[in-house]
Amino acid sequence: MSLTINELEEQQRELQLPSFGLDDAWRLGSLIVGLARERGLAVTADIRHGEQQAFHAALPGTSPDNDDWIRRKAAVVRRFGEASYLVGERFRQKGRPFDLDPARYAAHGGSFPLLVRGTGPVGTVTVSGLPQLDDHLFVVECLRRFLTER
């Protein structure tokens, strides 16, 4: 399975929040961890509100490498204002390598901008531990559930 650029852009238009604060970060993070535990997924989850780390959880089966992936994927979202998977797909579909410093940036799936309608990006939500498309789809699923439950 793969997603088109149009589908990825549509996800960003769809997954805009009415607001997002620190209590929301806790609720979204708890939703991610709960669903991951229910499915037996070994993931690390991270939510940033601005530059503040508002939520972080590492589940059994993860390692410090997942924290590094989170840092690098979220850096892509902060730099480009788009999901890390979308940024990577734009480069891949053009047949170009992602040429930013790989020690600082990873254009792989799993980090998504926290977009507030009428405001723009206010943070990031990132998951690491699954194949990149699965990381991306898991974050999208959790954001959809979060929006539905609000």
Burial track 54-68 (b if 16+ CB lie within 10 A, e otherwise)? bbebbbeebeeebee
Per-residue confidence (pLDDT) for residue 40, from 0 to 100: 98
Instruction: Check whether 1 has a pLDDT greater than 80.
Output: no
Q: pLDDT tens digit string along 62-86?
A: 999 999 999 999 999 999 999 999 9
Coil, strand or helix at 18: coil
Q: Could you count the other beta carbons within 10 Å of the beta carbon of residue 88?
A: 20
CATH number of 5-149: 3.30.450.150
Q: pLDDT tens digit string along 24-35?
A: 999 999 999 999
Per-residue confidence (pLDDT) for residue 150, from 0 to 100: 79
Per-residue confidence (pLDDT) for residue 2, from 0 to 100: 80
Instruction: Check whether 122 has a pLDDT greater than 90.
Output: yes
Q: pLDDT tens digit string along 81-91?
A: 999 999 999 99
Instruction: Check whether 141 has a pLDDT greater than 80.
Output: yes
- Domains of the chain, by residue range, sit at 5-149
Query: Model-level pTM?
Result: 0.95
